Amino acid sequence: MGVVPVSEVLRRLTEDPAFWTGVSPLADHDREVRVSFPVAGGYGLVLDLGAGETALGLREPATSEPVQLGWAERGGVFPAALRWWELELCARVIALEDPTLPHPGLVVAMLSPFAPATPDDDRAEIAAVREAAYRSLRREVPERAPNVPEQTPLPLFATADWWPAPEGASPQVLDEAAIAALSIPDPVRLEVRDGSRFPHRGLQELVRHAAGRLSRQHRDSCYADALPLARQIVGTGDLSPVPRLLSTLTEAGCDHPTVLDALSEPLVPLEACWMVETLADARPGTLLRRHV
C-alpha cells in the first residue's frame, strides 16, 4: 500500500479551526471526503467525512472497500472502535511511512474520537498526547508588510507608537482554549467491539503489522550508532542528550524527515519521546510517561 499524500481539500479543512471545534471534533463539510492512512502490510485506516456522519474503516490487503469499524452521526457519540494504544501505534507508523505527515499529531487528532479512554488507560497520558497532537497542527501564514510611512516623518512622529507593527496571524490552527478543551479524553460511551460483525481478526493483523514495522525502524544501518544513546535516554528519562542523538544520526547519514523533525529544536518533549522510543526499540510510552 503506497503513500497517500494529504490532499488539498483535507489540508484546507484541517487548517480551519471550525473543523475541530464544531459540534463534533470533526468537520462541517459540504461534500464527502475520504482520508486513507496506509499503515503496514497492506492494512490501513480509512476515515470517511460526510455532512451527516463520520465513519472509520479498516482496509485489508487486496480489498477495494474498507470494512467498517465504527461510525457516528454528526454531533452524536463516537464508538470505541480503537483502543488508545492501537491508535497511537498506528499513528507512529503512519508518520514514519508518509513524508507528507512528518508527525503523528494529525492522525491522532483526526482519529482520537474513535479511541476514547477505557478504565485501563492513563487519562493524563492520553490528554498529554492529544494536547501535543492538536498543538502540532500548523498552517502557512503570509508575512505582513511592515507599517511604515510613505515618507520620512518628523522625529516626533517616527516612534513605534505612531507606526506599530501589524499583528501577525498565528501559524497555530487552534488557540489555547480550544486545545485544552479538545485534549480532554472522552470515556467509552458506545462499545462496538463486542459485536460479532466487528472485524477483530483484521484489526489484530493491522496491529501486528504495525508493531512489526515500528520495531524494525532501529535496525537500519544509519541508526546503529544512535541505538546506545537512545536506550540511555529511555533508561534515564533525561532528554538533554537529544541534540547529541540528532548529531549522531545526521553524521551517520540519516535523512528521514520524520526522525529529524522529532528531535530538532525547538524540542517538544512528547514528540522527542516517541522518536527516542522508536530508535531504542522500547515499548511505546516507556519514556513518554516520565514526561507527562
Q: What is the pLDDT of residue 142?
A: 66
Q: What is the pLDDT of residue 143?
A: 62
% the chain with pLDDT above 70: 85
Q: What is the pLDDT of residue 235?
A: 95
Over range 198-223, report the average pLDDT.
94
Which is it for the CA torsion 284, 287, 291, 292, positive or negative?
positive
Domain boundaries, the chain: 8-137+177-205, 220-291
144 has pLDDT over 80: no
| H-state helical runs in the chain | 8-14, 17-21, 84-97, 105-111, 123-135, 176-183, 200-216, 227-236, 242-251, 257-263, 269-280
Q: How far is CA 277 from CA 4, 92, 96, 289, in A?
A: 26, 11, 13, 11
Q: What is the pLDDT of residue 146?
A: 64
Q: How far is CA 135 from CA 5, 13, 29, 111, 275, in A?
A: 21, 16, 23, 15, 17
User: Cell 522510543 sits at which residue?
Assistant: 277
Percent composition of the chain: helix, strand, coil (DSSP 3-state, to 5): 45, 10, 45
147 has pLDDT over 80: no
How far is it, in rounded angstroms, from Cα 246 to Cα 222? 12
159 has pLDDT over 80: no
183 has pLDDT over 90: yes
Q: What is the pLDDT of residue 97?
A: 87
Which is it for the CA torsion 158, 161, 162, 163, positive or negative?
positive
Cα dihedral: 170, 174, 177, 183 (round 10) = -140
Q: Decide if 273 contacts 283 (C-beta within 8 A).
A: no
Q: How far is CA 73 from CA 84, 188, 268, in A?
A: 21, 16, 35
Closest CA to 261 of 46, 101, 87: 101
Q: Decide if 98 contacts 131 (C-beta within 8 A).
A: no
Closest CA to 84 of 37, 120, 49: 120
Q: How far is CA 249 from CA 234, 256, 288, in A?
A: 17, 10, 21
Q: What is the pLDDT of residue 98?
A: 81
22 has pLDDT over 90: no
Over range 208-218, report the average pLDDT.
93
Would the pTM of this model clear 0.85, i.e. be above it? no
How far is it, in rounded angstroms, from Cα 210 to Cα 171? 32
Over range 236-265, report the average pLDDT.
94
Q: Decide if 58 contacts 206 (C-beta within 8 A).
A: yes
Q: What is the pLDDT of residue 187?
A: 95
**Average pLDDT of the chain?**
86
26 has pLDDT over 70: no
Q: Cell digits for 219?
A: 535496525
Q: What is the pLDDT of residue 39?
A: 95
- pLDDT tens column, 51-93: 778 999 999 998 889 999 999 988 889 999 999 999 999 999 9
Q: What is the pLDDT of residue 171?
A: 85
Pairing mode, if any, of strands 43-49 and 33-40? antiparallel
